[in-house]
Amino acid sequence: MRGFWAALPTEGRWLLSTVVITTFGRGLTLPFTIIYLSEVRGFDLGFSGLLMSLIAVTGLIVTAPSGALTDRFGARAVLLASLVSMIAGCTLLAYATHPLTATIAVCLIGVNFGASWPANNALIAHVVDGELRQRYFGVNFALVNLGIGFGGIIGGLFIDVADPFTFTLIFLIDAVSCFVPIALLLGPLRRVHTVPAPVEGEGPAASVGYLHLLRQPAVRWMTLLSFLAVFVGYGQFEAGFPAYARGVAEVSTQTIGFAFAVNTAVIVLLQFTVLNRIAGHRRTRVLIVMALIWTVSWMLLGTAGLLPGSWAAVAGVLAFTGVFAFGETLMQPSIPAIVNDLADDRSRGRANAVNSASFQAGAILGPVVAGLLLDHGLSGIYIAVMVAGCLGVAVLALVLERRLPAHANGVPAAAAASPAAE
């Protein structure tokens, strides 16, 4: 870690130093938003669920324009606008007693979610390059989980459904936490410009449109791989997994809560070791290993469903989240590094927007499929679909490898130039 920190440029250190603080506020509110809407503000559960999905839908809608704006005006400008939207949304939601107010609030939060991903990744990729970029994305992911996990623990201990002010306070804290990155962008990072400077005697550098990006086979296969990985991964982890664990494996809500803590702990503890192990290896091969690890995790969860209400079921549920987290530590450094190494400063905002859209589409479709299968008692088919999806990710990674330039696949320059690499 000391060597990694020493190798980072000053701007990279500034960016990384505030991740835990920023995500702590998000961790305070994310696990409890639907509880707040339904049990504190009195909205019915169906409408509360619709509001939660509206965050993802709004994010998906604004992702493409945000990528284009990032390429045109720079990542800083888009990030600042998205943070202002988040502050407004959290503040409004803290006092939302009317459905319309809550709807506007979650849409503002969704704008932040959709705009911040392509802009933030573009900013990171501009500041950090080479092999260091992959390590940065991995460390950033570990710190995001640390901040969200710590926020979730504190929120769980602090909030009280009988006292609405406790919920108001955590949303206000979430809003205040956004001022930290704003200060960073207006202060130490104010001179970071992600838009390429025009060459003397030429006009501004022409941006690369979405159609141009999607004509590249590597981009198309990468987008499909990301979608399927999220569909069987994060799209299930926050919806299908808890529903299966509670309704099929019949474990307690305390077990499910502890399972999420296990997931965060494994990521934080293993990410640095994993980064050392995968350095210099083909990223597509790393993704194949991730897919196989996730296959094992879903089999463990399926085993838990065969022994409902038992200690073996509890062990299976906890093992699922731990093994799944191991796969996450392989995925999170690899996919953003591939996406950003395929792009340049003219197209990085759009490239990250395409990848963000595939992530969000998988996260939206995943819970729908899980709900349909589990609601009809098709738990065995549900596990089979997840296992097949994981194996599909491995196949897509093999297909992608044949279309991916060596530098984007993390192959060292010397190895890429050798006859064996060819």
Q: For 232-245, what is each residue's pLDDT tens digit?
A: 998 887 778 888 88
Final residue before a domain boundary, out of 187, 217, 239: 187
Asked if residue 346 belongs to a domain, the reply is yes
Cβ neighbours of residue 220 closer than 8 Å, sequence gap 6 or more: 214
Same domain, 213 and 181: no
Q: Is residue 344 a part of any domain in this protein?
A: yes
The pLDDT, as a whole number, for residue 412 is 67
Residue 104 lies in a domain: yes
Mean pLDDT computed over every residue of the chain: 86
* Residues 387-421: tens digit of each pLDDT: 999 999 999 999 999 999 988 888 765 455 444 44
Write down which residue in 187, 220, 239 finishes a domain: 187
Are 72 and 178 in the same domain? Answer: yes
* Residue 422 belongs to a domain: no
227 and 327 in a single domain? The answer is: yes
Same domain, residue pair 234 and 341: yes
In one-letter notation, the amino acid at residue 206 is: A
Identify whether the C-beta of residue 362 lies closer than 8 Å to the C-beta of residue 234.
yes
Residue whose structure tokens are 């790393």: 286
DSSP class of 41: S
For the record, the structure tokens of 301 come out as 């969860």
Quick one: 344 and 247 in the same domain? yes
Summarised one tens digit per residue, pLDDT across range 238-297 is 778 888 888 888 888 778 878 888 888 999 899 888 988 888 889 999 999 999 999 999
Could you tell me which of 220, 232, 219, 214 has the C-alpha nearest to residue 393? 232
Distance, in Å, from the CA atom of 4 to the CA atom of 277, rounded to the nearest integer, reads 14
Same domain, 157 and 250: no
Q: Which two tokens stand for residue 246?
A: 């509670």
Domain count, the chain: 2
What would the mean pLDDT of 87-103 be, rounded to a whole number? Answer: 95
- Is 221 in the same domain as 166? no
Domain assignment present for 12? no
Please report whether residue 204 resides in a domain: no
Residues 249 and 374: their CA atoms lie apart, in Å, by 12
Q: Which of 168, 128, 179, 144 is nearest to 11 (CA)?
A: 128
Q: What is the CA radius of gyration of the chain?
A: 21
Q: Which residue has the tokens 């901040």?
A: 147
Asked if residue 200 has pLDDT above 60, the reply is: no
Distance of CA 73 to the CA centre of its chain: 24
| Cα separation values, 260 from 239, 332, 417, Å | 12, 18, 44
Predicted confidence at residue 106, as pLDDT, reads 93
Question: Would you say 362 and 224 are in contact if contact means Cβ atoms under 8 Å apart?
Answer: no
Domain harbouring 57, CATH code: 1.20.1250.20
Q: Amino acid letter at 56?
A: A
Question: In terms of Cα–Cα distance, which of 337, 25, 267 is closest to 154?
Answer: 25
Judge whether 138 and 274 are in contact, CB under 8 Å: yes
Same domain, 110 and 220: no
Contact in structure between 218 and 396 (CB atoms under 8 Å): no
137 vs 128: CA distance, rounded Å: 10
Is residue 190 within 8 Å of residue 184, measured between CB atoms? no
End residue of a domain, out of 187, 222, 249: 187
Q: Decide: helix, strand or coil at residue 226.
A: helix
Q: Which domain holds residue 25?
A: 19-187
- Would you say residue 419 lies in a domain? no
**Residue 201 scores a pLDDT above 60:** no
Which residues, 6 or more positions from 10, have their beta carbon under 8 angstroms from its beta carbon? 188
> Could you tell me if 227 and 374 lie in one domain?
yes
Nearest to 409 by CA among 398, 418, 419: 398
Same domain, 175 and 222: no
In a domain, 199, yes or no: no
Got the DSSP string for 307-323?
STTSHHHHHHHHHHHHH
Region 181-202: mean pLDDT is 75
Mapped onto helix, strand or coil, the DSSP state of residue 422 is coil
Cβ partners under 8 Å of residue 373, min gap 6: 379, 381, 382, 385
DSSP type of residue 32? G
> What pLDDT does 142 receive?
86
- Same-domain pairing of 267 and 327: yes
Whether residues 219 and 101 fall in one domain: no
Place of tokens 């890429």: 416
